[in-house]
Amino acid sequence: MPLEWSGLSPDLLLVIDRGSGVPLRSQLENRLREAIRTGRIQVGERLPSSRELARRLGVSRGLVQDCYAQLRAEGYLVTRTGSATRVAAGAVVPPSSAPPSVPAPRLLADFRWGVPDLNAFPIADWLWATREAARRMPTVDFDYGDPRGHAELREVVAGYLRRVRSAAADPERTVICSGYAQGLGLALRALARSGVRTVAYEDPGTPATVAAAAAGAGLSAVPVPVDGHGIDLRALDATDARAVVVTPAHQWPTGVALAPERRLALIEWARRRDAVVIEDDYDAEFRYDREPVGALQGLAADRVISIGTVSKSLAPALRIGWMLCPPALLAQIVENKQLSDRGSPTLDQLALARLIESGRFDRHLRRMRTGYAARRTALVEALAEHAPGVRLTGLAAGFHAVVTLGAAVDEQSVITAARARSVGLYGMTQCRSEPVRTPAQLVLGFGNVPVRAIAAGIAVVGGLLVGG
């Protein structure tokens, strides 16, 4: 699709060498031909006016007009009365090695995990918040700011986390980051500088994410099993790790909450080992059948780095997150953030602050809880009707569930067969450090799947889940 430039004549970089001995007209014609042939100027894109190009190159307008006339005669350019000079259709030769693009097939239902309802993003509220932020933003805030993030958002986020997550949140020790992955990388690099050599993580969990962040920090990563009460503390204690990544409020992906006694035992392990717990507080806003579970960081602010984002509550595209940092690691984390990107975008930070303090963020979350609860119910009912007997767990919070398949069912075979029926299914194997064939399990994300699509998709693949 050609670029459409509005207003003034578009820029075009062309170089004329007056000392080469080659006539200026020949040089200009050759430069334009080359730009068109190589695709630097696409079919349909308009060229600068002859007057503007002549001014930029320091040549006569007549010379440019003669060049344009010659290239029109050769079929490179086209001009219509009252319109700009544009690159003619067929003038650009596509590279022969480029394979034709094939659009991805449209799925009846795609149960991809970790994606919220993208259609429900509060665009009107976000535009309002952005306008308000820009209107009230002082000139000084357009400069590079505090690498921790804007003080106003840190204050608002800290207050929100104290109110909603029972966190021991201090705006002075809050760092705004560009999502969970960056926050984890900042934390692990700071821990490596403090002498940590090994980080543990839950298994199943996010092995690829932790392994990549650990490798970037020069650390080794070891898996620790999870059972029905959360991470296995005995197995953790058997490692040499002095850091561990956990999802205590809603374990990813099993959905269990870390049992109260294990929460305390994990803090005791951190104190005894001189270790740090990295809490991924990824979707605690959405809960259904249980009382809310407070942030682990509220129990030991000196031993827990809590990382949260708006990727699940609003949308991943915003790339806004936060870290609650222990005092001993704050300076190193801030330094890492400064070296990483000089700070997160200020206008977006202030827009999020406006959204939260206005109450519009809470209103959005209430609306989303209702929507996700309806989808959860649709999933339960559809599985009961079309795949009776399969075990469904992890539904107390969030917007994904775990389905344990029949004993004779192979995980990958089900995924492949479902894709042939235009339904996207995803296996637990991707969440494990090592492949485990039994029990075969699926992780069904329903956050971005409409209620009707949930029912239709499960109806199509229900027989596969029970081995039919």
* Domains of the chain (ranges, CATH numbers): 1-102 (1.10.10.10), 109-116+368-465 (3.90.1150.10), 122-362 (3.40.640.10)
- Tens digits of per-residue pLDDT, 319-361? 999 999 999 999 999 999 999 999 999 999 999 999 999 999 9
pLDDT of residue 467: 79
> Do 128 and 328 touch, CB atoms closer than 8 A?
no
pLDDT at 414 over 90: yes
Percent of the chain surpassing pLDDT 90: 77
Rounded Cα gap, residues 328 and 194, in angstroms: 9
Q: Is the dihedral of CA 22, 26, 30, 31 positive or negative?
A: positive
Mean pLDDT of 407-422: 92
pLDDT of residue 94: 62
Mean pLDDT of 224-253: 96
pLDDT of residue 437: 66
Rounded Cα gap, residues 370 and 416, in angstroms: 32
**What is the DSSP secondary-structure string of 41-89?**
S-TTPBPPPHHHHHHHHTS-HHHHHHHHHHHHHTTSEEE-TTS-EEEPT
Mean pLDDT of 141-161: 97
Q: Which residues of 349-362 are buried (b: 16+ CB within 10 A; e: fewer)?
A: bbbbbbbbbeebbe
Q: Which amino acid is at 210?
A: V
Rounded Cα gap, residues 413 and 443, in angstroms: 15
Rounded Cα gap, residues 332 and 329, in angstroms: 6
- Tens digits of per-residue pLDDT, 435-449? 876 789 999 999 999
Mean pLDDT of 69-85: 86
C-alpha 204, offset from chain centre = 21
The alpha-helical segments, DSSP class H, found in 104-177 are 123-136, 151-165
pLDDT at 114 over 60: yes
Q: How confident is the model at residue 431 (pLDDT cuts 50, 70, 90)?
A: very high
Mean of pLDDT over the chain: 92
Nearest to 451 by CA among 347, 372, 396: 372
Helix (H, G, I), strand (E, B) or coil at 240: coil
pLDDT of residue 404: 94
Rounded Cα gap, residues 68 and 28, in angstroms: 10
Instruction: Calculate the dihedral angle through the C-alpha atoms of 11, 17, 22, 26, rounding to the nearest 10 degrees.
Output: 0
| DSSP 8-state code for residue 2 | -
Mean pLDDT of 383-398: 91
Rounded Cα gap, residues 173 and 259, in angstroms: 28
pLDDT at 16 over 90: no
pLDDT at 6 over 50: no
Nearest to 280 by CA among 209, 351, 328: 209
pLDDT at 81 over 80: no
Rounded Cα gap, residues 67 and 340, in angstroms: 48
Enter the tokens of residue 304.
Answer: 């827990």
Q: How confident is the model at residue 219 (pLDDT cuts 50, 70, 90)?
A: very high
pLDDT at 318 over 90: yes
pLDDT at 160 over 50: yes
**What is the DSSP secondary-structure string of 172-234?**
GGEEEESSHHHHHHHHHHHHHHTT--EEEEEESS-HHHHHHHHHHHT-EEEEEEEETTEE-HH
pLDDT of residue 7: 46
Residue 358: which residues within 8 A CB-CB, separation 6 or more?
A: 129
pLDDT at 233 over 60: yes
pLDDT at 232 over 90: yes
pLDDT at 4 over 50: no
Lowest mean pLDDT among 5-14, 218-227, 294-303, 417-426: 5-14
Mean pLDDT of 411-430: 96
pLDDT of residue 290: 64
pLDDT of residue 96: 58
> Do 403 and 390 touch, CB atoms closer than 8 A?
yes
pLDDT of residue 282: 87
Entry pTM: 0.87
pLDDT of residue 97: 59
Residue with tokens 């389905």: 403
Q: Which amino acid is at 348?
A: D
Mean pLDDT of 203-219: 97
Rounded Cα gap, residues 130 and 460, in angstroms: 43
Q: Which residues of 135-174 are buried (b: 16+ CB within 10 A; e: fewer)?
A: eebeeeeeeebebbbbebbbbbbbebbeeebbbbbebebb
pLDDT at 53 over 70: yes
Element (H, E) at 401: strand 400-404
Q: How confident is the model at residue 468 (pLDDT cuts 50, 70, 90)?
A: low
